[in-house]
Structure 1
Amino acid sequence: MEKLPAKTGWLWVKEGIALFRKQPAEVSTLFLSYMFLMLALGIVPVIGQLLPLILVPVFAMSFMQACRHIEEGKRVYPNLLLVGFRSPALRTLLALGVLYLLAAFGAVGVSALVDGGIFWNAMTGIGGLNPKDIEGSNISLAMVLAAVVYIPAAMAFWFAAPLITWHDMPLGKALFYSFFAVRRAGKAFLLYGLAWLVIGILLPAAVSTIVALLINNMTIIVFILLPLSIILTVVMYCSFYPTYTAIFGRPQREETSVPESNDSAR
């Protein structure tokens, strides 16, 4: 596996945009269906707050498969949301989801060393959150610490789901390969992350500023920023696929099954 130059990170962003442009309505519909399903799961008492995180790897394969379909010239439909549930690797994907949950709770838990648990309360809703507690607290530093602590886990998780699903890897091997693949392409991932940070923050800020100067109507600003944020999120999801193919290659093309003839059936 050759090391990738830093500029590859920007190419991943451009490839994500290119994938989105081929089927923008279809991929956006898939994303909105996913968001609606997550909201529905949130209604389930107790476990409803945990399920969205546990199911991240399962639904991640929905978007990876969608990008695969776009690349192969196939239409993307909302039923791709179920592709992970139909996979023979479902149990392993769910185990990966549990690790997602534990890693996230662990990172946020460590942040309590900095702010006394304010960020933890904000994320979990345990014990309530008083706005006065945030004033003068170290919650910003706690957020940064949680993000830094989570980085090694994110590296191990990044490619784990497709490696489990498309390469039939066991959980431990998939985490191992993912971690070192991301580490080896570290410069490319650094630029990739910075690019999305700039796009995700500066672009909405620039648009909201321009609209505010021209119209100065908060309702219109929200009306414009909401679809913009959805589009940017969908494009970012589409860019995950190129990060995989650049390192592990494209998945084997899915062949359309041909019905057996009467002769072959005999």
Structure 2
Amino acid sequence: MEKLPAKTGWLWVKEGLALFRKQPAEVSTLFLSYMFLMLALGILPIIGQLLPLILVPVFAMSFMQACRQIEEGKRVYPSLLLVSFRSPALRTLLALGVLYLLAAFAAVAVSTLVDGGAFWKAMTGPGLDPRDIEGSNLRLAMIVAALVYIPAAMAFWFAAPLIAWHKMPLGKALFYSFFAVRRAAKAFTVYGLAWLVIGVLLPATISTIVALLFNNMTVIVFILLPLSIILTVVMYCSFYPTYTAVFGKPPRDEAPVPESNDGAR
């Protein structure tokens, strides 16, 4: 694989937006279905707090498959949310999800060296006492946790599609993903910075403008909520171009995805 130029990172964002614009309602419905399912799982005691992380690779493939179908001119249906549960790779994807969970816990655990455990309590406890925040280095702890998690994120980034589409075993998928991201480091740096600007500065700027114009919290929420959903869905759509830029189009030797009854008409 040739090294990708830094500007490729911005192209991934634009390609994600282009995919979203082809079927905005359909892919947004898929995302909202995913969110409602995660909220429902969150009701379960103990395991409900763990399942969303364990199932990340499983549902990541739902959005990757959705983008693939959009690219091929096929309609996206909410039933795609369950596509990985019918995959022979399901067990490996769940094992990858367990590694997601362990890596996240490890990164947050390391941050306790910086803030004495305030960030750990915020992530694992029912709530954070304001007294725990006073005098703690919570922001620094979040930065440390993010930096510690970066190598794991590199190994996880392409692991799910490599497992599901290329039928790689878990260890091989993690290995290939890590070094693929490392080789495209400049492109991923631009990609990450682009989403940092879009996801943080854009909503902050819009909320400030709306607050100056209306000074009404209800109006601000009414505007920012759909904006945040759209930006998140576009970001999900942009994951697919990062894969195709590195590994090419997905192989066609896997079983076809079942169409919904509406698609048969």
CA distance in 1, matches of 2:28, 2:252: 24
Match runs of 1:48-63 below 5 Å? 48-63=48-63
Q: Is the 8 A contact 1:72 1:253 kept in 2?
A: no
Q: Percent identity?
A: 86
Q: How many residues align?
A: 256
AA aligned to 1:23 is Q
Question: Quick one: structure 1 residues 217 and 82, their matched pair in 2 at CA, closer, same or farther if it must change by over 3 Å?
Answer: same
CA distance in 2, matches of 1:140, 1:44: 30
For residues 183-225 of structure 1, the C-alpha deviation after alignment (integer angstroms, 9 at most, x for no partner) is 0000000000000000001110111111111111111001100
**Which SS does the other structure have where 1:44 is aligned?**
coil
Residue 243 of structure 1 is matched in structure 2 by 242
Q: Is the 8 A contact 1:54 1:100 kept in 2?
A: yes
CA distance in 2, matches of 1:104, 1:44: 20
Residue 165 of structure 1 is matched in structure 2 by 164
For residues 212-258 of structure 1, the C-alpha deviation after alignment (integer angstroms, 9 at most, x for no partner) is 1111111100110000000000000000000000000011358998x
Match runs of 1:151-230 below 5 Å? 151-230=150-229
Q: Is the 8 A contact 1:16 1:237 kept in 2?
A: yes
Residue 8 of structure 1 is matched in structure 2 by 8
What is the TM-score normalised by the length of structure 2?
Answer: 0.94
Residue 82 of structure 1 is matched in structure 2 by 82
For residues 90-120 of structure 1, the C-alpha deviation after alignment (integer angstroms, 9 at most, x for no partner) is 0000000000000000000000000010000
Residue 100 of structure 1 is matched in structure 2 by 100
CA distance in 1, matches of 2:209, 2:129: 34
Structure 2 segments unaligned to the other structure (5+ residues): 257-265
Structure 1 runs (4+) greater than 2 angstroms displaced: 252-257
Structure 1 segments unaligned to the other structure (5+ residues): 258-266
**Which SS does the other structure have where 1:30 is aligned?**
helix
CA distance in 2, matches of 1:214, 1:256: 53
- Give the structure with higher Rg (CA): 1
Q: Is the 8 A contact 2:115 2:136 kept in 1?
A: yes
CA distance in 1, matches of 2:206, 2:18: 22
AA aligned to 1:95 is A
CA distance in 2, matches of 1:207, 1:161: 35
Residue 113 of structure 1 is matched in structure 2 by 113
CA distance in 1, matches of 2:205, 2:78: 32
CA distance in 2, matches of 1:208, 1:117: 32
What is the TM-score normalised by the length of structure 1?
Answer: 0.94
Give the deviation of 1:58 after TM superposition: 0.2
